[in-house]
Amino acid sequence: MNQSSSKGRKKFNPRQKDKSISINERISTFKEVPLGFTPEQAILEAERCLQCSRPRCVDGCPVMVPIKDFISLVKEGKFIEASLKIKEKNALPAVCGRVCPQEDQCEKACVLGKVAEPVAIGKLERFVADYEAVQGTKEEIKPPERLPYKVAVIGSGPAGLTCAAELAKSGVEVYIYEALHEPGGVLTYGIPEFRLPKNIVKREIDYIISLGVKILTNQAVGANISLNEIIRNYDAVFIGVGAGLPRMLNIEGENLNGVYTANEYLTRINLMKAYLFPEYDTPIKRGSEIVVIGGGNVALDAARTALRTGAKKVTLAYRRTESEMPARKEEIEHAKEEGIVFEFLVSPIRFIGKNNTLRAVEFQVMELSEPDESGRRKPVPVIGKTKLINADIAITAIGTVANPLITKNFKKLKTNSRGYIEVDDNMMTSLKGVFAGGDIVTGAATVILAMGAGKKAAQSILAYLKNK
């Protein structure tokens, strides 16, 4: 319980911190790093919550999880009930508890955060979801009254899964078309095992399947099945195909052996289990000196993954400084603890090879300009100053763009100048009855924003179907 001091000023108990596995175990395995709360820690943390009459935390959550109510249940030790309370609004609680940037959302808005450290909402969410999975759920999934509609969802990332789950809960028959052989989108092929174990993603997808959603894998819409065919066979369509095409640097040597995009590198390791080669049949080049280019979550995931493949030295090269890095603070701290070397204010100008194989990366040294009108300091080259970093593998993680597979052959589906699908306030595209959401609309964003879009689209689809 939070306490009052003798002078009458309220003193708040410190935020609970979970333990992590040892550094040695981290860098030699793909085991999940944070261990999560114990039941005692969960109750202590829940007791810090002020149970605000106006819980700002909920305003900070794109899917409106009833945070105050689930925390109140945790406080009473009703962990499974707490998990079910979250699932009323969020079908992927163990995923969100692990990868959502809570520090920029619910925890940023938490009222306690004004006077002390905010409540650890994400860690509590993870705890109750895992507790329910281990102890066995009490949830009885009652099939809803069937509505006479059939909806196709294209893409099984967080946007598609959330849209499908919401529709299925309302009694709609839903089929997801997924290009890859496994569902989950970035949750499955992008975010590494040590941050988001794949058995947890599978567990939450199985829950969505138990709601009645059918997932058809190896179905690349625009390649082996056309959008037209799907539109003809369904009452409405949701497109949630993400923005998974890697952006290229377009500099000399980018085609050398040993230069990967983070997208390819992480897909080989996470989806195709290349780190278990030859037990799994996808190989990955193992290097001793690896350079990763970028400063976001994807770059950090690639760098920490590279370290776990046995590299002696992994350098993360970023063109600005640490304070401008878009990656989550927690991930930067973990990377530092694990021994990733950070090189700031450098921008790659060429990959240098011998016998068509990478040997080094040459960087332009940068500095930050004076702040412009928006207050931003841009990286600008320091003329004549370059730097060479030896590398047998380089991984580029400089962002992604929209994949044109669906849109290029379907001109009636309006996109903006960068290839992202345009939608109206109800998430409907230029095609009647075809909705879209997630990264394919906003550009690369976050899991919870994609889920929020999927949820909003499901509500619009229901309204559209009922008015049809």
Ligand X SMILES: Cc1cc2nc3c(=O)[nH]c(=O)nc-3n(C[C@H](O)[C@H](O)[C@H](O)COP(=O)(O)OP(=O)(O)OC[C@H]3O[C@@H](n4cnc5c(N)ncnc54)[C@H](O)[C@@H]3O)c2cc1C
Q: Which residues bind ligand SF4 (CB under 6 A)?
A: 49-52, 55-57, 67-68, 71, 110-112, 119, 121
Residue 327 interacts with which of ligand X, ligand SF4, none, CB < 5 to 8 Å by class: none
Minimum CB–partner distance for residue 56 and ligand SF4 (Å): 5
Minimum CB distance to ligand SF4 smaller for 26 or for 48: 48
Minimum CB–partner distance for residue 318 and ligand SF4 (Å): 33
| Rounded-to-integer distance, Cα 32 and Cα 34, Å | 6
Minimum CB distance to ligand X smaller for 79 or for 189: 189
Minimum CB distance to ligand X smaller for 366 or for 447: 447
Residue 110 interacts with which of ligand SF4, ligand X, none, CB < 5 to 8 Å by class: ligand SF4
C-beta atoms surrounding 440 within 10 Å: 28
Minimum CB distance to ligand SF4 smaller for 57 or for 153: 57
Residue 447 interacts with which of ligand SF4, ligand X, none, CB < 5 to 8 Å by class: ligand X
Minimum CB distance to ligand X smaller for 81 or for 330: 330
Nearest to 428 by CA among 413, 442, 417: 413
Minimum CB distance to ligand X smaller for 139 or for 422: 422
DSSP for 232-287, written as a single string? HHSSEEEE-----EEPP---BTTTSBTEEEHHHHHIIIIIS-GGGTTTSS------
Minimum CB–partner distance for residue 110 and ligand SF4 (Å): 3
Binding site for ligand X (CB under 6 A): 99-101, 154-160, 177-180, 185-186, 190-191, 219-222, 240-242, 244, 266, 297-298, 301, 403, 405-406, 438-439, 444-448, 450
Residue 294 interacts with which of ligand SF4, ligand X, none, CB < 5 to 8 Å by class: none
Minimum CB–partner distance for residue 388 and ligand SF4 (Å): 49
Minimum CB distance to ligand SF4 smaller for 66 or for 454: 66
H/E run at residue 99? helix 93-99
- CA angle (112 as vertex; 106, 118 as ends), nearest 5: 55
DSSP label at 145?
P
Residue 57 interacts with which of ligand SF4, ligand X, none, CB < 5 to 8 Å by class: ligand SF4
Minimum CB distance to ligand SF4 smaller for 59 or for 367: 59
DSSP for 401-462, written as a single string? E--TTTTTT-TTS-B-TTSPBP--TTSB-SSTTEEE-SHHHHSS--HHHHHHHHHHHHHHHH
Residue 52 interacts with which of ligand X, ligand SF4, none, CB < 5 to 8 Å by class: ligand SF4
DSSP for 299-366, written as a single string? HHHHHHHHHHTT-SEEEEEESS-GGG--S-HHHHHHHHHHTPEEEESEEEEEEEEETTEEEEEEEEEE
Q: What phi and psi, each to the nearest 5 degrees, are found at residue 462?
A: -60, -45
CA 117, distance to chain mean position in Å, is 24
Minimum CB distance to ligand X smaller for 17 or for 408: 408
Minimum CB–partner distance for residue 440 and ligand X (Å): 6
Minimum CB–partner distance for residue 335 and ligand X (Å): 13
Residue 297 interacts with which of ligand SF4, ligand X, none, CB < 5 to 8 Å by class: ligand X
Prior bond of 278 cis (ω within 30°): yes
Residue 68 interacts with which of ligand SF4, ligand X, none, CB < 5 to 8 Å by class: ligand SF4
Minimum CB–partner distance for residue 129 and ligand SF4 (Å): 17
139: left (phi over 0), alpha (psi -120 to 50) or beta: beta
Minimum CB–partner distance for residue 297 and ligand X (Å): 4
Minimum CB–partner distance for residue 12 and ligand X (Å): 28
Tracing tokens 């669906």 back to the chain, one arrives at 406
Residue 93 interacts with which of ligand SF4, ligand X, none, CB < 5 to 8 Å by class: none
Q: What six digits make up the tokens of 442?
A: 């906003």
Residue 348 interacts with which of ligand X, ligand SF4, none, CB < 5 to 8 Å by class: none
Minimum CB distance to ligand X smaller for 155 or for 253: 155
Q: What six digits make up the tokens of 238?
A: 């949701």
How far apart, in Å, are the Cα atoms of 106 and each of 50, 62, 73, 82, 168?
A: 14, 9, 18, 17, 27
424 Cβ neighbours under 8 A, 6+ residues apart: none
Exposed / middle / buried, residue 116 (Cβ in 10 Å: 0-12, 13-18, 19+): middle
